[in-house]
């Protein structure tokens, strides 16, 4: 049940981001789908596989977003960015960034440092996920072309 609720709301959130980023009208549902896949992969791998490790889960989530976005971009011959931009939004570590800022304000700098490092690690993991997916896609795609 939790997964159904999360699926529905991550779809909704990402599709709404499609509107804010002005995606092409007929691609909004695809944007939502990319976001829902990314979030569900992130959420399930964090809680089931990785015992709450958000860094690795973000990597896997971003990887999934990039793969699905790439498949859509090949299918509809539109730039990949249209699908991936909204899709990674749910993965952005907003909560941890907020905790960093709050701890700085409360002058508990040790806690702030820990949170800041986590924000850095998660952002890096998202970046690595996107890049890894792209590299793998390029390798697969080029191989197929030469074969």
Partner 1 sequence: MNDSREEMGIDACLLAGRLMMEAGAETYRADDTMKRMAASLDMHGADSFTTSTGIIFSPGGQRRVKLTSIRRRATDLEKIARVNAISRLLSSGEISLEEAYRELKKTENGNFMFPFWLQVMAAAVASASFLVLFGGDWKNMIFAIIAGGAGFAVSEKFHERTRVKFFSEFTGSAMIGLISLAAVGSGGGSQLDIIIIASVMPLVPGLLITNAIRDLMSGHFMSGISKGMEAFLTAFAIGSGIAMVLSFQGVGM
Candidates 92, 53, 86; CA nearest to 68 is: 86
Residue 55 binds to partner 1 (criterion: CB under 8 A): no
CA 118 to chain centre: 16
Considering the complex, state which of residue 56 and residue 93 has its C-beta at the smaller distance from partner 1: 93
Is 97 a residue that touches partner 1 (CB under 8 A)?
A: yes
Per DSSP, 76 falls in state: H
Distance of CA 12 to the CA centre of its chain: 15
Q: Which of 131, 138, 139, 140 binds partner 1 (CB under 8 A)?
A: 131
Judged by CB under 8 A, does residue 123 bind partner 1? Answer: yes
Stretch that binds partner 1, among 50-58, 84-92, 110-118, 139-147 (CB under 8 A): 84-92
Q: Residue 106 phi/psi, 5° resolution?
A: -85, 5
**CA gap 122, 27 in Å, rounded:** 28
* DSSP 8-state secondary structure symbol assigned to residue 47: I
Residues that bind partner 1 (CB under 8 A): 5-6, 9-10, 12-13, 16-25, 27, 39, 77-79, 81-82, 84-86, 88-90, 92, 94-95, 97-102, 104-106, 123, 126-127, 130-131, 134
């Amino acid at each position: 049940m939790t997964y159904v609720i999360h699926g529905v709301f991550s779809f909704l959130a990402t599709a709404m981001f499609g509107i804010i980023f002005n995606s092409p009208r007929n691609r909004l549902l695809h944007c939502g789908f990319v976001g829902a896949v990314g979030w569900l992969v992130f959420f399930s791998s964090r809680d089931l596989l990785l015992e709450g490790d958000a860094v690795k889960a973000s990597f896997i989530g971003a990887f999934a977003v990039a793969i699905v976005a790439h498949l859509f971009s090949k299918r509809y011959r539109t730039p990949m960015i249209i699908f991936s931009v909204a899709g990674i939004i749910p993965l952005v570590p907003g909560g941890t960034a907020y905790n960093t800022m709050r701890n700085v304000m409360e002058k508990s700098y040790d806690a702030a440092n820990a949170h800041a490092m986590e924000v850095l690690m998660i952002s890096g993991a998202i970046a690595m996920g996107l890049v890894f997916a792209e590299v793998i896609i390029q390798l697969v795609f080029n191989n197929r072309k030469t074969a």
